[in-house]
Amino acid sequence: MIFREFYNYILQTDYKVNEELPFPVNSASFGKGGVLTKYNEIEKKVYFIQSGIVELKIKGYQTEKIIDFFFENEMFCALTSFLTQTPSDVQITAITNCELDMVLYDDLILAYESSLEANKFARIITEQGYIRKAKREKEFLVETAEERYAKMFATHKNYISEIPVNKIAKYLGIHPESLSRIRKKLTS
């Protein structure tokens, strides 16, 4: 899917390829390992993934922690930094090759002034971002690592083999060896 299709899907509209959206959309490519947003950088872009996987890391109490993975047909950015235009406390890295669409902060802010549609789209995307965060908070409070892995596996069956095991363990907040035990149990 490209961003325009995603936009049509979210708003139930039908923009054709040559019609202008309320804000310009550009494309970008990142190779595996490429850093999209650095720690302390102010986020100026929001991305849509045509293909690939990215990870969001945060500097934890003692180690770095992975707080999210984003996959095909999802939007991402260092959202707190984007919304507040303050330095990012997360770092975003492509963990596979990525084909992306992107929208610039300044273009979006301009569209917000007069476009009902731009506000509606951003409201819905932000709602989804909120739901995602709340879900993850709940999972940490009420589910075991095994349940969380099983859920992640169920939702992203096609992609999960592309993420190194140590990254999945870092995301679940467990030791890689504990994850190996969980994986064996689930696949047996």
Q: Which residues sit at the interface with its own copies, rule CB under 8 A?
A: 58-61, 65, 67, 79-80, 83-84, 89, 112, 114-116, 119-120, 122-123, 126-127, 129-131, 133-138, 140-144
Nearer residue to its own copies within complex by CB, 50 or 75: 75
Nearer residue to its own copies within complex by CB, 17 or 61: 61
Nearer residue to its own copies within complex by CB, 126 or 166: 126
Between CA 90 and CA 67 the distance in angstroms is 9
- Report helix, strand or coil for 32: coil
Cβ 84 to its own copies shortest distance, Å? 7
Evaluated on CA atoms 166, 172, 173, 177, the torsion sign reads: negative
Cβ 22 to its own copies shortest distance, Å? 11
CB distance 58 to 64 below 8 Å: yes
How is the beta sheet containing 64-70 ordered, strand by strand? 35-37, 90-94, 54-59, 64-70
Nearer residue to its own copies within complex by CB, 71 or 121: 121
Nearest partner of 88 among 69, 113, 67, 72, judged by Cα: 67
Give the amino acid at 58: I
Cβ 93 to its own copies shortest distance, Å? 18
**Strand pairing class (45-51; 75-76):** antiparallel
Between CA 50 and CA 95 the distance in angstroms is 14
Give the amino acid at 52: G
Nearer residue to its own copies within complex by CB, 31 or 60: 60
Cβ 126 to its own copies shortest distance, Å? 5
Cβ 17 to its own copies shortest distance, Å? 26
Cβ 33 to its own copies shortest distance, Å? 23
Nearer residue to its own copies within complex by CB, 17 or 142: 142
